Structure 1
Amino acid sequence: MRSLFWRIFASFWLAIALVAGLSMLLGRMLNQDAWLLSQHPGMGDLAQTWSQRYETHGPQAAQRLLEERKRSYRIDVQVLDDSGQALVKGTFSPRAAAFEARQRNEKRLPWRRLSVDYTSTHSGETYLFIYRIPNPEVAAWQRDSLLWPLSALGIAMLVLTLFSLWLTLSITRPLNRLRGAVHDLGQTTYQQNSLARLAKRRDELGVLAADFNRMGERVQGLISSQRQLLRDVSHELRSPLARLRVALALTERADAVEREKYWPRLSQECDRLEALISEILALARLDAEPGAAQPINLGELLHSLQEDARLDAPQQLINIQLESDLQLNGWEGMLQRALENLLRNALRFNPAGYPIELTASKTAGLLRLSVRDHGPGVTPEQLARLGEPFYRAPGQTSSGHGLGLAIARRAAERHGGQLELSNHAQGGFVATLRIPLNQANQSPANA
């Protein structure tokens, strides 16, 4: 992964190296005497070489060394002992020494005067070396010696500038795209492919863009589903309200005897409207925060559903298959409402004489709550749309409002699971709530 961490890390280290190099260069430029003494080829090793030759071969050999340096580098050298006496003749003429003595201001001298003490490692004697370099020679050497450091400094600054520009653009451009995506999401105009190119990056911004893209798709999907739900709700509410309005109009025009015939019709339409509103509110409550999860006694829950089903359809037989040691933390009211809807659908389509199977089992860390009937089942085309709010299979428009399976699906999702709908291999229809047992103790995922 081409991480932004390494880019920023490299930028900081490059900047530190550049500052360190610049500091060293400026330090040398400000301390020119020490720089000359250590770096100039005519003086860098002269003190050590001269002392060895003087102590080994005598003054004449030492004097010849100074004269060679004079011819090669135009440097005049004097060597004094501790008492200030000249050890050799040197290369600085007496006339030049007298001229130097008359000039109190060193800036008027045509040469640079430098001095350094050197202690011999062989004899332990200390020598004072006095160098005099012509000013033009110093200027020429400084130009030559500064050319490479200044060139390196210029190249380093250019590289750092280009690298910083590239790093800045690699961060600001994706952030601008993300800012635009956030703005579009706030205006509900987010396009799913707006961050597709950015999501292909193999760094932190690419991961962020991919996560944001998934979030944007999810939010847009929720907004679309909410809009569709509002359209469906308005459509479903329009029908019973229209029937109520017609019944009221007929009641107003009828006499007292005929009016009594319309009161049951009005009561029936009010009951349908109340049931529809109750279903809509139940679906809406599933998106609210349900609070902390609580332990659910699955045995009591399933037997309670069995008793309620016997009261609604005493002719139907309901068999419960419950594995032992099933423990679930969740929201009992939400789960009970989901299973009630699944069981109500099964009671509606299950033929008499065949039992409805209500099963609770555990498979690979999943709790499976299944309701199976022996009815006709559904076609593959209908199966793909079951669970959508207000969808009712053809031929079943008079029963229910198409919200039962939507409520069951939403309840499963709030428990971190899902609703599976399928035709049974041996006939009939089976609806299964699959809930992860390891996620049941957590809060439900936000919609």
Structure 2
Amino acid sequence: MYKDFKNHIENKLSILKESKLIIAISGGIDSVVLAKLCQSLELNFALAHCNFNLRAKESDKDEAFVVALAEQLEVEVFVQNFDTLAYADKNKCSIQMAARELRYDWFAELAQQLNYDYILTAHHADDNLETFLINFTRGTGLNGLTGIPMINRNIVRPLLPFSRHQIEAFTQEENITWREDASNASRKYLRNKLRHEVVPVLKQINPNLLDSFQNTLTNLSDTAAIVEESLSAVLKRALVSKDENGNTYRVSEFKKLNNPKAYLFEIFKDYGFTEWNDIVDLLDAQSGKLIQSNSHRLIKHREFLILTGLKDSELSEVRILITEQDSEVEIPSGTLIIQPIESIDSENDNALYIDKEKVSFPLELRLWREGDFFQPLGMNGKKKLSKYLKDEKFSLVEKENTWLLTSNKNVVWVVGKRADDRFKVTKSTHSILKIEFKS
């Protein structure tokens, strides 16, 4: 296995040879073998061990084993203790998910602080097969069936081409010791169920299962590349804009496709949506119809779909005061530049010119709400903000992000849209104030 591992590193992962590495090590057979192999190639690495405090004294014995191994290998070791149960309870997630989040967050922090280039994990070919089966049984798209990536940003998995059988045989040949986690034998978790009950049956049916599986992954990855190319072409035509308020897509581009559902799934699958037939129906729905996940909304607005995160309710309570001394004020959607001027230089929607003597400081910035009125510039009577936004055909997202500049609770400006006639500059104005909005 030494020779195969060396060839693999030189042919596929030569980036590791001149890099500073962290090996994520539990003390189990896979990560211990990875550490031994990396030492054989004289790679520059340290060990990082997580003590999740889930197995009482056994967790502490794992930690002691890793510390001793580091001394034997003559490498640096980092150890972090976690209260995994408390984290899982606080974040309402499973113990497995809690451990995963804690582990990878710490590895990332460690790598950044100490300038390590890559984090190595000991996932191997059997892990890859189990992950494929987990995704398959839960339901997934093509990306969920292409396996664990060998390189994912700064996470590298050098043992991915090697089987569990090869790793076990290597430990016997080299007389390597490791720590056995008793929970690996439990059928409580889905991965263990597949490992002990399903995969052995598949290997009986096909003794060359892992080789066949690797061929399947290669074919699926090739297909995924074709899908990605087609998806990119559709996105290039469909995406109208992308900003802090969300992404806007042309409905017409999706309706041209033979299978819009497939494209909608690939584009929006990472935003928590599950009802894909409802999303397809959104293409022909009335303006204002929306589909909501736990984190995002997809809104039909006229001939567009708008993807946006769920509105932050705290923004509705934001009040920003502008004093007479302020010259620049940050607001959630941009910046206001405030300055006195002698005369109006140029007019545009993003610049407001008002008679300074007609307003009272401090001015206030807030989001619009039902019941607001203003007198649009050039009109004699008042108009409801809700009616103005409807007449201007604002989308739901645009409405939610409409800010007002007010003086004594009177609207001075629908920011970046329309000024109020009551505060306009006239021939009798002695002091002009310019307020410019920059996004």
Question: Which is richer in helix?
Answer: 1
Question: Which is richer in strand?
Answer: 2
Name the larger-Rg structure.
1
TM-score category by the smaller chain? under 0.3
TM-score (ref. length: structure 1):
0.22
TM-score (ref. length: structure 2):
0.23
